[in-house]
Chain A
Amino acid sequence: MTKSDYEEIMQLLCNRLNSLANSEVTITSETNIISELSIDSIKLLNLIMEIEDTFDISIPINALADVQTVHDLASLISRIKSNQ
């Protein structure tokens, strides 16, 4: 995975999470997706499906258990993408 891959993923996540968030939080890599953005699990799973199609990957739902921050999610996506 290159730095630009990760940055591209981060940029996309920040844009999408901004449009879904119920709060006026400035989203950074360390933002906690559930507790700070008040995004419910259903919206999050729909977002995941959208991201999967964007990058043509499948994200196992058990891997999501370890995801807290935007950085965690971006790292997971880049890891899966680079393993394909």
Chain B
Amino acid sequence: MNLLEKLDAAAAARKAMLPEGIGAFGVPIEEVYSATEARIGDRRVLLLGTNNYLGLSFSPKCIQAAHDALDAEGTGTTGSRMANGSYYGHRALEQEFADFYGYCAGIVFTTGYQANLGTISGLVGRGDTVLIDSDSHASIYDGCILSGAEIIRFKHNDIADMGKRLRRLGERTENTLIIVEGIYSMLGDQAPLTEIVNLKNRYNCTLLLDEAHSLGVLGETGQGLVEKTGLQKEVDFITGTFSKSLCSIGGFCVSNHPQLDQLRYISHPYIFTASPSPATIASARAALVLLREGKDLRKQLWLNSTQLYAHLKKTGYKLGPEPGPVIAAVLDSPKQALRIWQGLLENNIYVNLILPPAAPEGKSLIRCSVNAAHTTEQITYVGDTFAKLYQQQILNS
């Protein structure tokens, strides 16, 4: 099979799973009206698949900041920070993130994906070990592969399995980086951080926490799981993205280890890429201020999330283990998941369809991401529609 035939085979497998005309992956969004509504085809749909947790994508302050930066500094930086230099906004945002977490150092990356890729591949290399949760995001897996370190997985959120694997590593634990996530993107559950920190200290490892989905969502000021658990002093490195709660593009790593700065000289995903544009940095800076002050937004987000989680659970859907802004209904087969996804779209609700092998353990998921800007009526409508489709599903099976 030549290279193009391999792509044809992959396309055929995808078509076999998704009937003609169903574009579940890469849905064309024709117009965006607000943080909660857009047009798909000729339908005005409710957006529940956008990770826009605080609903800040149309914040006038963020839009104004982006406009001002465009006017002042242009559309792009046209190159890397190593070659073209660091703009004021890059440096300011790094300091603001470090201050936010109370750490001494921060680095901004061009995307959240690159934040994990660049941090992991900068911290570990051949001869080192990374110990990762089996439900880790692709950016973590890819960062580990790029690093050349030995990659060992433990069962998702299973402390006993993690402990067993640390014991098996023996003296190598000193050169081991443990990587976990604040909120996991598939099932929306949180890492048992207190127990993980206990193991990290017992085995003298280094700990990286990815707060991509928990930034803005957990903790008094929205730092994430690290703040909710009060473990800022125990976590060595925190990564995150600007593309969810901050409604921009980019990523960051912060640490209390001043050695973080060295990544600027060794991490390829930081060095060999164009730096974030002035407008994306400016809107991220404005959103970070709103996120820190956004106690009421978080309160509303959690009200919406618990309302929808309870509604779906009462209906009978199999869900992730705890409520949160990422709510995943676990279906028995891709066919069932596709039927529900189509049914929701026909009722003007857009959510994410996740099919094997993207979902953990071969599951098929309908994933909703709730946001603070959804109204109670919108959440009720979504819950009622899910319930209607559940009944139809039972009748059809």
CA distance A40 to B361 in the complex (A): 11
**Pick from A49, A57, A61, A84: contact of B151, CB under 8 Å:** A61
Contact with A along B129-166 (1 / 0, CB 8 A): 10000100000000011000011110100000000110
* B322-353 vs A, Cβ < 8 Å mask (1 yes, 0 no): 00000000000000000000000000000000
| Neighbour of A42 across the interface among B129, B168, B362, CB < 8 A | B362
Asked if residues A62 and B357 are in contact (CB atoms below 8 Å), the reply is: no
Residues from chain B with Cβ under 8 Å of A59 in the complex: 152
Chain A CB within 8 A of B356 CB: yes
Selected contact of B145 from candidates A58, A62, A63, CB within 8 Å: A62
Give chain A's interface residues, CB within 8 Å of chain B.
Answer: 40-43, 45-46, 49, 53, 56-63, 84
For B166, the closest partner residue in chain A by CB is A58
Interface size on B, residues (CB 8 A): 18
What chain A residues lie within 8 Å of B155 (beta carbons)? Answer: 49
Closest residue to A56 on the B side, CB-wise? B168
- Provide the residues of chain B in CB contact with A53, threshold 8 Å: 164
Is B169 at the interface (CB under 8 A from chain A)?
Answer: yes
What are 10 A-B residue pairs whose CB atoms fall within 8 Å in the complex?
A40-B356, A40-B357, A41-B357, A42-B362, A46-B361, A58-B168, A61-B153, A62-B144, A62-B145, A63-B150
Q: Give B residues with C-beta under 8 Å from A.
A: 129, 134, 144-145, 150-153, 155, 164-165, 168-170, 356-357, 361-362
Decide if B152 touches A58 in the complex (CB within 8 Å).
Answer: yes
Bound CA–CA A8/B361 (angstroms): 28
- Interface contacts beyond A40-B362, A61-B153, A84-B168: sample of 7 additional A-B pairs, CB < 8 Å, sorted by A: A41-B357, A45-B153, A53-B164, A56-B168, A59-B152, A60-B129, A61-B151
- Shortest Cβ gap from A14 to chain B (Å): 24
**A64 — nearest CB in chain B belongs to which residue?**
B151
Q: Are B152 and A42 in contact (CB under 8 A)?
A: no
Q: How far is the CA of A61 from the CA of B151 in the complex (A)?
A: 6
Chain A residues in 8 Å Cβ range of B362: 40, 42-43
- Which residues of A are found within 8 Å of B145, using beta-carbon distances? 62
> Which single residue of chain B is at the shortest CB-CB distance from A60?
B150
Q: How far is the CA of A33 from the CA of B235 in the complex (A)?
A: 40
Instruction: Tell me if B356 and A60 are in contact (CB < 8 A).
Output: no
Q: Are B357 and A57 within 8 A (Cβ)?
A: no
In the bound complex, how far is the Cα of B145 from the Cα of A41, in angstroms?
Answer: 17
Q: Given A42-B356, A49-B155, does the pair A58, B361 have CB atoms closer than 8 Å?
A: no
